[in-house]
Structure 1
């Protein structure tokens, strides 16, 4: 059975990220979930590197019910957090994709989230079914 490994807070309201352990490989190669305080659990990335890429959007995830995918959207692309430049430099030094524009954010974030759901959606549903 799949198991959950907490990564850390995702938003100021207590929502968080967790790995859904589905394979025997390193933990950071497992899919990443966003678990909202509203009770929604959404796949957001196929692995930790993809989550780091999503975080370069500098916005919290928005979730919905099981019928909808999570999204990342920064409504003011020019207004970033103080540490974003350092974070981006750190990622670039490790050859991790950095999203550089609002247009790229929309396309790339949807691609990352959709791929994770296509690849691991069945695992998430199986995990959730064991909770009830």
Structure 2
């Protein structure tokens, strides 16, 4: 239970980008009041791996934001991004959060076989991957 509360608080802090005491209290209240899912247990190793990929996405998000500012991305595409099938809902949420966290991508749909439909902004030249 404590791990879920901490995970929710970390996600709140990533979304709001503020460590003020008021924001911490609001985040703690939101983390506590959100419904607690009952379902398949998610291995801690998998959660740690997903959180690590989210932390690695932070510098990538800054890089993509600067690239959008400096070089506009006029093209767009909807692509399929592979994902592991039969992932617990918590890990699917973390995958979607990681993909959507970066400025050039947005998850449109989560597929039942583990993939995602992702809307991407593409540079003027080059591949849209």
**Greater relative contact order: 1 or 2 (C-alpha under 8 angstroms, separation 6 or more)?**
2
TM-score category by the smaller chain?
under 0.3
User: Normalising by the residue count of structure 1, what TM-score does the alignment of the two structures yield?
Assistant: 0.24
Higher Cα radius of gyration? 2
The structure in which a higher percent of residues are helix is 2
